[in-house]
Amino acid sequence: FLVHSRALIFSFLIRAGKPTPFFIFVLALLFCTYNGYLQGRSLTSYARYPSGWLKDPCFITGFTGWLTGMAINIHSDHILRNLRKPGESGYKIPKG
């Protein structure tokens, strides 16, 4: 979900962004697709999960950290999108 948020949702919500070269886009798409396939395949086909792994403190701590990071990332994206005034396309350093 976080990857979709960063790659798709943020991209469509940003106003007057700068263009990205098509070749760079294709390379990033290929890398992310292959990387996602390898990680998904590893987690679903080759990893062995003991019974009760969802209740393990390491899993709960890791999931809580991931959820917190995702919330911070989405909130930060919201702040960055709203720094620009209508018609602006440059980057700003927030003050205050």
Tell me: do 80 and 64 sit in the same domain.
yes
Tell me: do 42 and 62 sit in the same domain.
no
Average pLDDT (72-95) is 77
Tell me: do 43 and 1 sit in the same domain.
yes
Q: How sure is the predictor about 49, in pLDDT bands with cuts at 50, 70 and 90?
A: confident
**20: containing domain:** 1-47
Average pLDDT (2-7) is 56
DSSP states of 13-54 as a string? HSSSPPP--HHHHHHHHHHHHHHHHHHHHIIIII----TTGG
Under 8 Å between Cβ of 73 and 6 = yes
Q: What is the mean pLDDT of the chain?
A: 81
Tell me: do 63 and 36 sit in the same domain.
no
Number of domains composing the chain: 2
User: What is the percentage of the chain residues whose pLDDT exceeds 70?
Assistant: 75
Distance CA 72, CA 15 (A): 21
